[in-house]
Amino acid sequence: MPESETSRSLYEDRICHVILSRYPVEKGHLLIISKLHYANMLSAPDNVIVHMFIVAKRFGKRTKKRLKCKGMDIGVNVGVAGSIPHFHIHILPRYSKKILHFAPGKNEIQQAEIRELKHLLNL
């Protein structure tokens, strides 16, 4: 895992790792990232997709309970301009019905928030 992701790391196994987004759209925005390179979900093997969505479900439940969000979006991007060309799943907590935008240049997550979220998620 790149050094820039180490402090944001929440979980790792042989198939994927879970990190806090470097540029969160909302508090608690997580990424489940495959360890092996697949351009997107469509090129990943079924067992990797299933495993990563099981991990997403586990972290989705934990996020909803501990961050007390009203809901969440769980999803992937395929062939979207500007998307990172590596299979990953977003867990995006929703605290209101406002429309969210993935805005480039959004503020980078700070160490204090990383510590807080790791504590809240019991990691």
Range of the domain at 10: 3-120
- The label of the residue with tokens 């990797």 reads 48
What's the pLDDT at 7?
87
Output 93 or 79, whichever has higher pLDDT.
93
pLDDT-based confidence at residue 8 (cuts at 50, 70, 90)? very high
Distance of alpha carbon 68 from alpha carbon 100, whole angstroms:
18
Provide the domain count of the chain.
Answer: 1
The amino acid at residue 101 is H
pTM score above 0.75: yes
Distance of alpha carbon 105 from alpha carbon 86, whole angstroms:
20
- What value does the mean pLDDT of the chain take? 88
- DSSP conformation letters of 11-79: EE-SSEEEEE-SS-SSTT-EEEEESS--SSGGGS-HHHHHHHHHHHHHHHHHHHHHH--SEEEEE--SS
Q: What is the CATH number of the domain that holds 73?
A: 3.30.428.10
Residue 2: pLDDT over 80: no
Q: What is the pLDDT of residues 27-67, one digit of tens each?
A: 999 999 999 999 999 999 999 999 999 999 999 999 999 99
